[in-house]
Structures are given as structure tokens and as C-alpha cells.
Chain A
């Protein structure tokens, strides 16, 4: 296992790294957010790192391509997404952080998928990587000097 960042005892903190960029989540919001490349079941898409999100949120257009089957989900719920009460379902799914250096990190995550009829009103919004359901149980760090996102599993 490659240790890209390590604790003082040599134990790896991060086992992979990737680039990120900054951009605001919508044209109306000027505060930039970290944007990362992640994969939903092998389908790679850009996603905003959102430590306020309770789950990974998969954009409806991406979810349709990934092919989430409602039989694998909980019943319909509503989730507040950027001020809108969005109907959708929760799934257990693999979200992967592809590494440019080191090895990929696979997270068995809880993913909220908006109902298909939200696809049009979702607009250009991307997917979101939540602290809840994903980041809460992995190690991560950023280097703003090189726009690098480090990640690794909990020991």
C-alpha cells in the first residue's frame, strides 16, 4: 500500500490522491466549492464536496445512466437540497475516488437519487459528496497549494 501522507508511526493516512478544482455550486452563489472526479458504479462524473450534505446525492441525469433500480432502495422520501424539497430514494452503492497517484478508494455509501421527474428542474446542478453517508468514515485532506485531494480508509 502506498503511503502518500503518513502518521508519525509510519501508518498511512492517505493511500491515493486526485486533482480538484474550485467553482461555485450555482451561478447565483459566488462561494467556490471543491469539485472532484468520482465514480458511481464505474460511471465517472464531477461532484461537489459538500460537508453539509447528509448523503451522497447523485444528479438525476447521471443516476439514469448508472441505472439505480428502485427495488434496491428505501421508499420515497424528501430531502432538502439547496433549499428545495426534493423527492427521491436512498440506495447503498459504491462510490469510488479514482487516484491519479496511489490506489483508488471505494466507499460503500448511502446515495440519495432524486426521482426521475426532478431531472428537468435539477438543471445543470452536479452531484454532491456528503459528509454523511460517505466522507464521515474515510480520511481526507486537501492541499490548496497544489489543488490536491488526499484520501484513504480508516485503519
Chain B
């Protein structure tokens, strides 16, 4: 019946602050988990999942008693969720797994990469030299369709058939305020 239980900890993850979720320490988890159908059910749900409707997969994830699962199952479940298109579920699983297994390097990495984004005000800017780039694209789109362009200050610096060709003409682009783009 375990796979029919909607587990409270994971339910909290979906509805509130992930950082305050209480999880059972990994030391309390039996070292040997008896082979069961839980992960097989999850694999099956992932395989049958439609990227435009992940509700069945999410329901299957919620039905797992994650307090009894080892770290490897969290890792596997994160990949299943990502490939099924259940991206928020992947984030929740990664963060819950990382909280429960703080010494597990892969889960820590997953939680770091999938964590909510964080926006911070930079010490750089403004860049008035960027003004005009978008207007240039609007005015010249059809003329340069299918090519790559480098722009600065609304001025065309270079044109090429590839980004490599553009870099060969312009040189280093990183941190130069040069905008490069294909014209699709």
C-alpha cells in the first residue's frame, strides 16, 4: 500500500517553503531496501508520460514514501522527472534529496543546478552603447536573414555565415558589449 500513500513531506514541498521541510535523517533509513515495485511504477509512469501532460507522472511521484527511499532513488527520480518534462517535480525531488542526504555529492549538485534562480543587482551598467542594437535588427532583419551579425551601439561590426566566422573577424567577444546573433 505504500505506493498509494500521498506522502506528507513531499506534499509540503509542493505547497510551501522547501527549505523548512522536515525529512527523516538518512541514518534512519535501512541500508538494504527490499526490492519493491515503487521505482518500477515510477519508471513506468515516466515512460508513459506525455510531455504536455505530466500529471500522471507527478501523481506517481507523490504516491512514493520518499522517507524510506535511498539516495539513488532520488537521483533516478530526478532524471525520470526531467526526461518526462516534469521540471518542477525534478526540482522538488532534488532539493528534498539534498536535504535528506547532505553528504551525497550528486544530489547536492542536482539541488544546486535545479534550485530556483536568484536575481541580484550587478555593480555593472549602464551600457548606453547597447542602445540601437534592437532597432538595427528590426530595420535590417530581411537583408541579413540566414547570416550572423556582430553589433555594437546600433552599428554593424561584422557579418558572417557562422558564429565562428564572426569571431574570426571580430576577435574576443566576451565582456566587450558586442552583441552577436544569427538572423533567423
Contacts and interface: CB of A to CB of B under 8 A. Distances in A.
A125 B174 CA distance: 21
Given A44-B177, A62-B163, A100-B126, A19 B121 contact: no
Interface string A112-136: 0000000000011110000011101
A90 B113 contact: yes
Contacts of A108: 117-120
A91 interface: yes
Interface residues of A, number: 68
B180 A44 contact: yes
Given A15-B121, A124-B183, A46 B137 contact: yes
Given A21-B135, A65-B163, A73 B146 contact: no
Contact of A138 (B117, B133, B162, B181): B117
8 contacts: A25-B184, A41-B174, A44-B176, A45-B181, A73-B113, A77-B83, A98-B124, A153-B119
Interface of A: 1, 15-16, 18-23, 25-27, 35-37, 41-46, 54-55, 59, 61-62, 64-66, 73-75, 77-80, 90-92, 96, 98-110, 123-126, 132-134, 136-138, 147, 151-154
Interface of B: 51, 79, 82-83, 85, 87-88, 109-110, 112-128, 130-135, 137-138, 141, 146, 162-164, 167, 173-184
